[in-house]
Amino acid sequence: MIIDRFVALATAHAPGQEVRQAAGDVGNLMRGRKLSGRPVDFSHGDVDAFLPTPGASDHFLEALAAGGRQAYTEYRGTADIRAGLSEALATFTGAPVSADDGTIVTPGTQGALFLAVASLVSPGDQVAIVQPDYFANRKLVEFFGGRPVPVTMDYLCGSDEAGLNLVQLQAAFEAGARVFLFSNPNNPTGAVYSKREIVEIARLAAAFGVTIIADQLYARLLYPNEAYAHIRAAGLPAERIITIMGPSKTESLSGYRLGIAFGAPAVIERMEKLQAIVSLRAAGYNQAVLRTWFREPAGWLEERILKHQAIRNDLLGVLRDGGLATREPQAGSYLFPTLPPLAVELADFVRLLRHQAGVIVTPGTEFGPYPNSIRLNFSQDHTEAVAAGQRIVEMARRYRRRGPPHAPSNCNLASRA
Amino acid sequence: MIIDRFVALATAHAPGQEVRQAAGDVGNLMRGRKLSGRPVDFSHGDVDAFLPTPGASDHFLEALAAGGRQAYTEYRGTADIRAGLSEALATFTGAPVSADDGTIVTPGTQGALFLAVASLVSPGDQVAIVQPDYFANRKLVEFFGGRPVPVTMDYLCGSDEAGLNLVQLQAAFEAGARVFLFSNPNNPTGAVYSKREIVEIARLAAAFGVTIIADQLYARLLYPNEAYAHIRAAGLPAERIITIMGPSKTESLSGYRLGIAFGAPAVIERMEKLQAIVSLRAAGYNQAVLRTWFREPAGWLEERILKHQAIRNDLLGVLRDGGLATREPQAGSYLFPTLPPLAVELADFVRLLRHQAGVIVTPGTEFGPYPNSIRLNFSQDHTEAVAAGQRIVEMARRYRRRGPPHAPSNCNLASRA
């Protein structure tokens, strides 16, 4: 039944949809009074705290003045914009990008992910996905009738590697998975895959004829002294990889809905055919904003990274001091702390956080079987983010399950100091 | 095989994709010299000839200034924009629209169509579609594994009715079709369904439990003294109809990619869930442009309609005088003339039109089995459109198949004078 297909697409707890949630009977569960403080919405980055790339709106207005030429582009996006980007992306990822056959501009990276999965997954296909990973990955695979095969990532232990279980990955390929979909940096943990992990993923993919969809949305927000290995440069044939990026996060251009997919020409061609019936094209005028991408003013990106690093460090300190085991992200602006065992359901705790503490977070259950985790996008006002972090810690203390102290995780705070 | 799914999605002849077509060996086919004249692209409206709604960019810039609040909206779009539109759309269509549960803002009407079909069609389902109708309808149904059941429209005969074959429609329902997807005004012919036809469609839909997707993209560009019957107001239960509109055509706002679907709350809810994995939302800032919709300056719409009517009349005269049987559109800016039997394939004729006559049109085969028709969007500069129409007539004369004069269609020019 068609209804079943949509049950799996539940969005009630998706980031940004909180406005559609009823408060429910959260008042009955409340312990103590409300916690005061300016509300912070950690479900997505705050583009008022970190402004869009300088010059973005100028390019939009130029496109508007250009008129029909920019309103009606090829479905895969304006040729000269793709040409400019293909050079920048080739340099960034360390492998050639074909402007003509190997790029497509999409309505956000979400649009690119949707088209890529639709172009590679048929009913019954097994698709290896990481656990935890971006919540839409599983939903996309299931929507097209595919079967997600989870591959776990032991993200809490260590920061030199993401912690992907490569034995499980090989087993998934041996069992028949021919597509591997993963985000790097990982969403929700901020883990970056090590060179060793990337090389091994590429080796396994080559051995089993697997096509890779690499969601690298956060790859530019890499903290100082961290290394990033691009899977495009790991020796796989070009027709085996689709890479997805976009300026919605680091560059705060989410309101323009822009993304790009690049790589395997045969897959890009399918994606364009599908885009023609999904939404025709990314909004024509908006596409022009991509002219700012990878061409930001000197020092702009570095400053943005340092500011995020400072928030990361402070918030991480608050969460860990409060007893919430949390991986230090190597890139991006997500934290995925583990809560203590709670006396309430995670969904209720998230609702309580919102109504009692003025803090919006995304429940860990959106990313896999993580009923004791929450995700925070810390691209926020620094001071308010830290204050909200303190409220989270206080709330975790209040709603902690009474009883013997819980066993620390294998990778507890002491071992990570 | 997944590849099969994409063969059916061919976009090589889709409007706007001409830039990706090779000229091929069109030179070998050429009869006579090039025809001079300013190039005209009839594949879509010219937003430089008919400018976007006054104030549209101001609303965009206000949204940009509003920042995060407008960048991250609910997946179904900003609540207050939906509230404003729901009132306008209720008045326009003559039936209530729920702002909270019955509306979703999408990336263009294409986005709305995609989500609506995805939400109503499962593999194996029969879907009644009109022939001719918008080329994406069939592709959408087939992409989701549905089986299109064509219902013919005898559009060349008469202008009091669209000419839908209601006997065939009933037969399609009797054979099991439970979704009926149609555009009104019809794309590509500009035919508007009569009150009698709409009432009968509604009666049959009610009798067979059919859900209707009504694409009313062009419903506002209705020529003077023409009547338009909204199927929403024809007595069907609200949960049986999804109506789709948008400001891309009459209002020339296509470059912003905005559409709206309204009606059946259960379907709208599925559409939102799907939008969450397809593209999250229509671009946040762009949504604000909808604040201009149905609130244009006094007289603006009327003037736009009269200007299109003048182009329609002149172009229709040129085409008919040239022997191309053409329905007079009651609304919208499409003409769908019938060519004489040609000595070349339609695809080659279209290519010749482009390379020899500087005229881009969409081949009739995109809309059904119409190898002797072409579609023109005449929302163009008036003078240039008429000149280009004359070049089409001259090209039809040059490439006409030699031999006995072809039999006139049943509804020939004389009978329509």
Tokens 């999965």 appear where? A117
pLDDT value, residue A23 = 64
Across B383-406, average pLDDT? 92
Residues A413 and A400: their CA atoms lie apart, in Å, by: 18
> How far is CA B178 from its chain centroid?
22
Residue A2 burial (CB count, 10 A): 14
pLDDT value, residue A7 = 78
Find the farthest-apart pair of alpha carbons in chain A and give their distance in angstroms, rounded: 68
Weakest-pLDDT range from A408-412, B34-38, B59-63, B155-159: A408-412
State the pLDDT confidence band at B415, using cuts at 50, 70 and 90.
Answer: very low
CA distance B234 to chain A (A): 27
Architecture of domain B2-51+299-416: Alpha-Beta Complex (3.90)
User: What single-letter DSSP state applies at residue B233?
Assistant: G
Q: String of b and e for B198-212 (b: at least 16 CB within 10 Å)? A: bebbbebbeebebbb
pLDDT value, residue B416 = 36
Contacts of A143 in chain B (CB under 8 A): 274, 277
Find the farthest-apart pair of alpha carbons in chain B and give their distance in angstroms, rounded: 68
Q: Say yes or no to pLDDT of B257 above 70.
A: yes
Q: Where are the beta strands (DSSP E) in B56-124?
A: 103-106
Number of H helices, E strands in chain A: 15, 12
Contacts of B114 in chain A (CB under 8 A): 277-279
Query: What CATH topology corresponds to A56-292?
Result: Aspartate Aminotransferase; domain 2 (3.40.640)
pLDDT value, residue B284 = 96
Q: What is the complex's ipTM, to 2 decimals?
A: 0.93
| Among the partner residues B61, B255, B279, nearest to A279 by beta-carbon distance | B279
Residue among B266, B240, B215, B408 at smallest CA distance from B324: B408
For residues B348 and B356, is the Cβ–Cβ distance under 8 A? no
Contacts of B280 in chain A (CB under 8 A): 16, 108, 110, 257
Structure tokens at A259: 């993304």
| Among the partner residues B44, B143, B274, nearest to A277 by beta-carbon distance | B143
Residue among A362, A380, A364, A371 at smallest CA distance from A314: A380
Q: Say yes or no to pLDDT of B334 above 70.
A: yes
State the pLDDT confidence band at B13, using cuts at 50, 70 and 90.
Answer: confident
Q: Tell me if B11 and A75 make a contact (CB, 8 A cut-off).
A: yes
Structure tokens at A356: 């009692």
Residues B362 and B41: their CA atoms lie apart, in Å, by: 10
Instruction: Please name every residue paired with B335 in a beta bridge, in sequence order, or none if there are none.
Output: B376
- Which one of B6, B38, B53 makes the best mutation probe of the A interface by having the most chain A beta carbons within 10 Å? B6
pLDDT value, residue B414 = 37
Sheet of A334-335, strands arranged across:
A334-335, A374-377, A362-363
Sequence ranges of the domains in chain A: 2-51+299-416, 56-292
- Beta-strand pair A211-215/B179-183: unpaired
| Among the partner residues B47, B107, B270, nearest to A107 by beta-carbon distance | B107
Q: Say yes or no to pLDDT of B22 above 90.
A: no
Average pLDDT, chain B: 93
Residue A26's φ and ψ, nearest 5 degrees, are -60, -25
pLDDT value, residue A413 = 40
Q: Where are the beta strands (DSSP E) in B7-114?
A: 40-41, 103-106
Q: Which H/E stretch holds residue A206?
A: helix A195-208
For residues B144 and B92, is the Cβ–Cβ distance under 8 A? no
Residues A43 and A59: their CA atoms lie apart, in Å, by: 28
pLDDT value, residue B407 = 60
- Beta-strand pair B179-183/A334-335: unpaired
B114 class by beta-carbon count within 10 Å (0-12 exposed, 13-18 middle, 19+ buried): buried
Find, in chain B, the residue whose alpha carbon is nearest to that of A122: B2
Decide: helix, strand or coil at residue A237.
Answer: coil
Q: Where are the beta strands (DSSP E) in A269-347?
A: 334-335
B191 class by beta-carbon count within 10 Å (0-12 exposed, 13-18 middle, 19+ buried): buried
Q: Tell me if A79 and B14 make a contact (CB, 8 A cut-off).
A: no
Across B57-73, average pLDDT? 94
Structure tokens at A310: 């400072």
Residue B42's φ and ψ, nearest 5 degrees, are -80, 5
Contacts of A286 in chain B (CB under 8 A): 257, 283, 286
Across B263-280, average pLDDT? 96
The amino acid present at A176, given as its one-letter code, is G
Q: Tell me if B2 and A119 make a contact (CB, 8 A cut-off).
A: yes
- Which one of A60, A72, A129, A268 makes the best mutation probe of the B interface by having the most chain B beta carbons within 10 Å? A72
Find, in chain B, the residue whose alpha carbon is nearest to that of A2: B122
Averaged over successive runs of 10 residues, the pLDDT of chain A (417 residues) comes to: 75 74 76 96 95 95 93 95 97 97 97 98 97 96 96 91 98 98 98 98 98 98 98 95 97 97 97 96 97 97 98 98 97 98 96 96 97 98 98 98 68 40
Contacts of A283 in chain B (CB under 8 A): 107, 255-257, 283, 286
Q: Where are the beta strands (DSSP E) in B67-215?
A: 103-106, 126-131, 147-152, 179-183, 211-215
Tokens 């306008």 appear where? B88
Contacts of A273 in chain B (CB under 8 A): 6, 9-11
Residue B112 burial (CB count, 10 A): 30
State the pLDDT confidence band at B94, using cuts at 50, 70 and 90.
Answer: very high
